Structure 1
Amino acid sequence: MLLTVKMMKPFYILQEGHELRLVFAYQYFSVMKDQEVYQFIPVESNEIRINLKTKQVENLTDIFVFQRGTRIFRIPLFQLMQISDLLDHLKSVSQFYVDQIKAQEEEQTMNEEIVQLEMQNLYRLIDKALTEGDRDMFMMLTDRLKLEEATQ
């Protein structure tokens, strides 16, 4: 049995930290099976959860149900991903959120590096004040150092 995703538009998308939830409703998700269109029905599972850090689908055992007239078929998400092009559709929907998490992590890393450089500079200025015998500058810089360390 080969399935293709005919349409996949999440009813809504919810990002909670590093988890992305794609929630589906009637008429927003359909597949082609044996050249017939089956509509998703939210009888059992209605969402796909993606970990944005690992880019992995987390609810692989959830059952998705599709219907055409009186015919219904149930399929676990992991199997749906194996026998269809669902993964390609998930990538296109989630890419924006993956990029956003990546940008946040890069910004955080950059901010941490800047703080480290500022601390190194402060230590150099303290060393310079000691070398030059500038007691006032030394006292001001060590007070600043204490404040910096207290805020980290």
Structure 2
Amino acid sequence: MITVKLLKPYYMKVDKKIVRVVLAYQYFALLINDQIYQFIPTEEREIQVNRKTKAIENIHATFAFQKGKDIIYKSMYELIMYPNFLFQLHSIVEPYFTNINIKQMTNHERVIHELEQLNIKRRIDQALDTNNKKLFYELVQYLSQVN
């Protein structure tokens, strides 16, 4: 079982289009099989989130985590599968989002938004199927925040 133990920005870089959450050692940690793995900045060092669409821009980024001599690599794609990662990331970047409603989105942005909503709803269904109440409540809470 993998969960995000800690996700705090070392600092933030914000421009018109992107919010960059810059990470550093001891500001990002995963709990993997009851062992804490600390982020090490050997691969990617930041998470890039589009201020308008709220989508993660560097989806192909790879992050390294270390416990002693053991190093584990996790892609951004893997990390976004953990609802507590998305929940914590959203709470960090939410104040920087551009307020835009669905009517103002381009067709491309609208499709991405709808696909993200469908993905969350599918994950809610999976949580119900597996009787995972914690995951269910996290996803429902996240879904209510992004709508």
1:94 aligns with 2:93: yes
Corresponding residue for residue 45 of structure 1: 44
Greater helix fraction, Structure 1 or Structure 2: 1
Deviations 1:75-105 (A, max 9, x none): 111111114521111110011111xx21xx6
The TM-score, its normalising length taken from structure 2, stands at 0.65
Corresponding residue for residue 13 of structure 1: 12
1:62 aligns with 2:61: yes
Shift of 1:3: 1.5
Q: Specify the structure having the higher radius of gyration (Cα).
A: 1
Corresponding residue for residue 34 of structure 1: 33
Residue 56 of structure 1 aligns to a residue in which SS? coil
The TM-score, its normalising length taken from structure 1, stands at 0.63
RMSD of aligned residue pairs (Cα, Å) = 1.8
Decide whether aligned partners of structure 1 residues 32 and 84 sit closer, same or farther in structure 2, where only a CA change above 3 A counts. Answer: farther
Moved over 6 A (4+): none
- Whether the aligned pair in 2 keeps the contact of 1:5 and 1:84 (CA below 8 Å) is no
Structure 1: gaps of 5 or more residues: 107-152
Structure 2: gaps of 5 or more residues: 102-147
The count of corresponding residues between Structure 1 and Structure 2 is 102
- Whether the aligned pair in 2 keeps the contact of 1:3 and 1:84 (CA below 8 Å) is no
Cα separation, 2, equivalents of 1:40 and 1:70: 13
Residue 85 of structure 1 aligns to a residue in which SS? helix
- Whether the aligned pair in 2 keeps the contact of 1:59 and 1:77 (CA below 8 Å) is yes
Corresponding residue for residue 23 of structure 1: 22
